Amino acid sequence: MRTHVAVIGGGQSCEHEVSLASAASVAAGLDPDRYDVVSLTIGLDGTWRGDDRRPLSLAGAIGVLLGCDVVFPVVHGPRGEDGTLAALCELAGLPYVGSGVGSGAVAMDKWATKLVAEAVGIPTAPGRLVTAATAAGQVWTHPVVVKPVAAGSSKGVSLVREPGGLRAALDEALALDDRALVEDVVVGREIDVAVLRRADGTVVASPPLEIVVEGLFDFAAKYGGHADFRIPAALADIEAKALAEAAVATYDALGCDGVARVDFFLTDAGPVLNEVNTVPGMTEHSQVPRMFAAAGLSYPDLLDELVRGAHR
């Protein structure tokens, strides 16, 4: 008997289109001999729609979900990745793929993630929290990176090299969130590691991926084909070991489940955590599937591990 899987994409955030691509790829990538897929989409206006594209009430959407065995949320950003959909599944008593309510919420909050990482000895970039009320009083003293606290896909992220650019960067970040993070520029190689809890409960780290790009790895670089992804990254054994250990330690400290992408800067002093994505891009050509493919785990097999390891 095939397992019925509800794949949810879209969402009410600036990552809506990215999420649609991830959800479509997941739906197509699940082995049809093992899985029946029901697709649900959340519009930018919050309207749910099923396979027939007709609008559904929230109660109607929950009814569809209750007819499935497992929910596979692929909604990036706020009202999805931040634990919102995990909470819906918990309340409905539905098994679901990925991190739980608390870990999704904390990992989505870059400021909270920094506090957790520092508490377990994982360095992060020095930074400060800024709100709309405190933005006017911020003084530029050196190059910084400004980003929304809880947004993804590098939306609203700016590299500020000159004093005159700080306020505009804060305005851009605060247009997407009510808090912004101002961090020192970290000089180092950009290395990502994916961490997966397999269906048998074991936790494994992927081969490291290096992002080689001129300037800031922003939305245009990420999705415009301008970045060079090198898998596996050319690292000394001691560097690769330090990154894998830091990635797993971060995953565990945040209480993650399913798969998460942990992003670092590799400096002369070792790994510096950048951020954590508990619902990373999941097209077959996204970073996480490519990292696990380099370890011999195919895209359908990765999806299979995630579904079989869903919260029960």
Q: Has 162 been annotated as catalytic? A: no
- In angstroms, the CA 221 to CA 243 distance is 23
- 275 classed as catalytic: yes
C-alpha dihedral (17, 22, 28, 31), degrees to nearest 10: -160
* Residue 274 among the catalytic residues: no
Concerning whether 210 is annotated as a catalytic residue, the answer is no
Q: Which of 243, 233, 294, 301 is nearest to 272 (CA)?
A: 243
Q: Which one from 109, 275, 304, 305 is the annotated catalytic residue?
A: 275
ω into residue 289 within 30 of 0, thus cis?
A: no
Here the tokens at position 238 are 């001691």
Rg (CA), the chain: 19
277 part of the active site: yes
Q: Is 225 one of the catalytic residues?
A: no
Q: Give one word for 46, left, alpha or beta, with left for phi > 0 and alpha for psi -120 to 50.
A: left
Task: Point out the catalytic residue in the list 81, 192, 263, 305.
Answer: 263
Q: Among residues 9, 10, 13, 15, which one is catalytic?
A: 15
Residue 178 makes CB contacts below 8 A (sequence gap 6+) with 131, 132
Query: How many alpha carbons fall within 13 Å on the CB side of residue 149?
Result: 20
Active site residue 121: no
Q: Is-catalytic flag, 230?
A: no
Instruction: Tell me the C-alpha distance between 276 and 106, whole Å.
Output: 10
> Could you say which of 257, 281, 299, 309 is catalytic?
281
Considering the candidates 190, 261, 304, 305, report the single residue annotated as catalytic.
261
For the beta sheet containing 48-49, the strands, ordered from the edge strand earlier in sequence to the opposite edge, are 55-56, 48-49, 35-42, 3-10, 70-73
The CA distance from 120 to 230, in Å, is 29
Active site residues: 15, 153, 223, 261, 263, 275, 277, 281
